[in-house]
Chains A and B, each alone.
Chain A
């Protein structure tokens, strides 16, 4: 049975990490390579282009700044959710987790307005290489945000039952969900200047 598998909730004595934590970091390593390839495409296309617009001329910097702050705040609430569990406070955890999800949804709604605005002005991915890379990168990032919302909602509602039986394992899961969420934040921290400011 799965209970035969060791180091699910307690860390391995030599490596010092649980299975889930190592697995999550490996997953994030592959995500680094995924976005690395896309940034590489961006660099190659931009250095090869005869002209390339500054992002601030075409995109809304204030909206993106607002979104950056939203995502940073959601990272803090996420880490606070984990810290609440470390202090054995489930209701506080739920409050912070709820905030994190709301902030993520706010991010997506703002992003949706940005997209809608672009479509209204007939700016599509096919318009230019700049828009192609803008829509692809932010779209893929948006999908990651959506994935985070789904995972976090699961851990807020049905997933939190695990707290009653396996509090240590549940805290570990929230830490891993947090790692993913901070990574999504991290990607945006680079996407924001690269697409909007440069």
Chain B
């Protein structure tokens, strides 16, 4: 990206605009789906899937992760592993205890 030509930047700008349209569209979709009163499990699956797609679009294009250098990836992969461990382990311990109680 550092030595990008003006033409390349203009192409990037087009990508940014399309990503913006996609983000706005997905926002509307996720709101509409929420009015359908799906059961909680389906609602979670749909809403989080859409959020993940939107998040990936932002990270990949606005934050240039799609063309980023290896070192950044390594930092992020490491972070992601610990992020997931932190996200689910406390809830898993909580759920396991409750499974004994019931």
Task: Please report A residues at the B interface, Cβ cutoff 8 Å.
Answer: 11, 15-17, 21-22, 25-26, 29, 32-33, 36-37, 39-41, 43-44, 47-48, 54, 56, 61, 65, 68-69, 72-73, 75-76, 78-80, 83, 86-87, 178-179, 182-183, 185-186, 189-190, 192-194, 196-198
B interface, over-half SS: helix
Question: How many chain-B residues does the 8 Å CB contact rule pick out?
Answer: 49
Contact of A47 among B51, B80, B94 (CB under 8 A): B94
Please give, as numbers and ranges, the residues of chain A lying within 8 Å of B4 by CB-CB distance: 86
Let me know if A83 and B90 touch, CB within 8 A: no
Contact of B30 among A29, A78, A193 (CB under 8 A): A193
Let me know if A43 and B9 touch, CB within 8 A: no
The digit string for B1-23, where 1 denotes a CB below 8 A from any CB of A, is 01010100100110011011001
Say how far B71's CB is from chain A's closest CB, in angstroms.
5
Task: Please report B residues at the A interface, Cβ cutoff 8 Å.
Answer: 2, 4, 6, 9, 12-13, 16-17, 19-20, 23-24, 27-28, 30-31, 34, 40, 43-44, 47-48, 50-51, 54-55, 58-59, 62-63, 69-72, 75-76, 78-80, 82-83, 86-88, 90-91, 94-95, 98
